[in-house]
């Protein structure tokens, strides 16, 4: 990850994508997070263990299977692993935490390239829309 951080400004499209994501979702939104050396270094093993305990739960998973005909035994087999997982509370909010982007034209100067990248940014509809 540190190598990706050190090279993230080498690719014009990556810069445009990163900055347009911040404009669309807001700089404090989880979708617009940008890894930094100090944030990566601050993660401990205990942080990962706690994340795993909170996240790996049936309420936070989607299990998809594709088969021409599903044997009846699959229903029982799929229920067993999800029942063994602890926790039933979903981590994800039921309502969107997005804000509308501010209208305008935003320019990011990068003088060491002879290319341009244009990003059009807007949010789609909320998931609960009929």
In the chain, what are the domain boundaries? 1-130
Q: What is the gyration radius of the CA atoms in the chain, in angstroms?
A: 21
Rounded Cα distance, 57 and 47, in Å? 17
What's the whole-model pTM score? 0.59
- How many C-beta neighbours within 10 Å does residue 54 have? 13
Span 62-116, pLDDT tens digits:
777 676 665 666 666 665 555 555 555 666 555 556 666 778 888 888 888 888 8
Would you say residue 49 has pLDDT above 90?
yes
């Amino acid at each position: 990850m540190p190598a990706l951080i050190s090279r993230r400004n080498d690719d014009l499209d990556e810069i445009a994508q990163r900055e347009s994501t911040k404009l669309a979702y807001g700089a404090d939104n989880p979708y617009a997070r940008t890894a930094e050396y100090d944030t990566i270094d601050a993660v401990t093993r205990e942080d990962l263990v706690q994340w795993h305990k909170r996240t790996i739960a049936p309420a936070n998973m989607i299990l998809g299977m594709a088969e021409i005909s599903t044997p009846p035994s699959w229903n029982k087999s799929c229920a067993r692993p999800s029942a063994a997982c602890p926790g039933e509370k979903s981590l994800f909010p039921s309502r969107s935490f997005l804000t509308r982007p501010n209208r305008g034209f935003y320019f990011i100067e990068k003088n060491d390239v002879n290319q341009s990248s244009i990003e059009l940014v807007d949010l789609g509809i909320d998931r609960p829309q009929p």
